[in-house]
Amino acid sequence: MYAFAYHRPATARQAAGLLAKKEDAKLLAGGHTLLPTMKQRLASPAHLVDLGACADLRGIERKGRNLVIGAMSTHAEVAASSIVQEAIPGLAWLASHIGDPHVRHRGTIGGSVANNDPAADYPAACLALGATIVTNRRKIEADAFFTGLYETALEEGEIVTKIAFPVASKAAYAKFRNPASRYALVGVFVAKRGSDVRVAVTGAGEGGVFRWPEGEAALKVRFAPKSLDGVKASAKGVNADMHADAEYRAHLIGVMAKEAVARAVGK
C-alpha cells in the first residue's frame, strides 16, 4: 500500500468538504474493495476520507412506499433488519448472501453501489426494484446510475447518502456464486410492482449490471417460473472468463431468473 493521509469526518457534509479540498482524495466505506485494491497498488489515493464515523449515513427506515437504507449500512445490518425483512425480504436475503459473515460486518450498501463491480449483488437489486440513489447533491434513478464497468453517474466529490427502494409486491434474488470469491457468476433479481415487472442481471454483462427485456416481457404476461420456459438470454455482450464462457453464463441467466421468480411467488 502506498502512503496516504487519513481523515475521519463525523458527517457527510464534512466528508464532502474534505473531498472538495484535498487533491486526489477517495472515500472509504467498508473498505472491502478499496483496501485490497490499495494493497495491490492498483489504487493509490493521496487522501482517504473514512465515512465510518458519519452517523448520518446510517439507519434503515420505512418511509411510506419506500424502504430507505443509509449508505453506510453494512450488509449484516441490512440482512438482519426486521424493517427490510418485512418490506422487501428478497433484499434481506441478497444481503445475507454477500461474501461471508466477516465481510458482511464491514461491507456497505453505499460502497457496493458506488463501486459498481460487474459481479456485485446490490446493483441488480437497485436496477430491478427501480431504486433511487440519493447523493449529497441530487437523486439519481438506478436506470441512469449504473453506466458501465465500475462506472456510475456519480461526479467528482459526490457522495451516496442513501438508497430508496420502492416496496415491490413480489421480489427475490437468485445467484450462482463463484465458490471462491462469493461474487455472482450470474445473479438475477426479479421484482413485480403493480403491472410492472423488472429483471436485472449481474455478473454476466460485459458492461456490468443490465436489465433483461425478454425476461421482463415474458413475466409481464404471467409472473410465474413457467413463463420463462423457452425464453433464452442471448450470449451477445455476455462475459466470458476462466470460470464460465458466455454461453454458460447466458444459460444461467434463464436458470437464475426462474429460481428468483419461484422464490418471489413462494414456490
Partner 1 sequence: MASVSLTVNGRAVAANVDPRTLLVQLLRENQRLTGTHVGCDTSQCGACVVHVDGKAVKSCTTLALSCEGAAVTTIEGLATDGALHPMQEAFREHHGLQCGYCTPGMIMAAVDIVNRRGFSLDEKTIREDLDGNICRCTGYHNIVKAIAAGAEAMGGRSMAGKEPPRQAAE
- Using CB under 8 A, list all residues that contact partner 1: 1-6, 8, 28, 31-32, 35-36, 39, 48, 50, 52-53, 76, 99-103, 105-106, 180, 182
Parallel, antiparallel, or unpaired for β 151-152 and 146-148?
A: antiparallel
**Which residue do the cell numbers 487519513 mark?**
6
Looking at beta carbons only, is 38 or 218 nearer to partner 1?
A: 38
Angle at 252 between CA 246 and CA 258, to 5 degrees: 150
Identify whether the C-beta of residue 67 lies closer than 8 Å to the C-beta of residue 167: yes
Looking at beta carbons only, is 106 or 211 nearer to partner 1?
A: 106
**Which residue do the cell numbers 460502497 mark?**
111
**Which residue do the cell numbers 484535498 mark?**
22
Smallest distance, partner 1 to C-beta of residue 182, A? 7
Looking at beta carbons only, is 9 or 130 nearer to partner 1?
A: 9
Smallest distance, partner 1 to C-beta of residue 6, A? 4
Smallest distance, partner 1 to C-beta of residue 168, A? 27
Looking at beta carbons only, is 57 or 142 nearer to partner 1?
A: 57
Q: HSE of 67 in the Cβ direction (CA atoms, 13 Å)?
A: 24
Single-letter residue type at 253: I
Smallest distance, partner 1 to C-beta of residue 95, A? 14
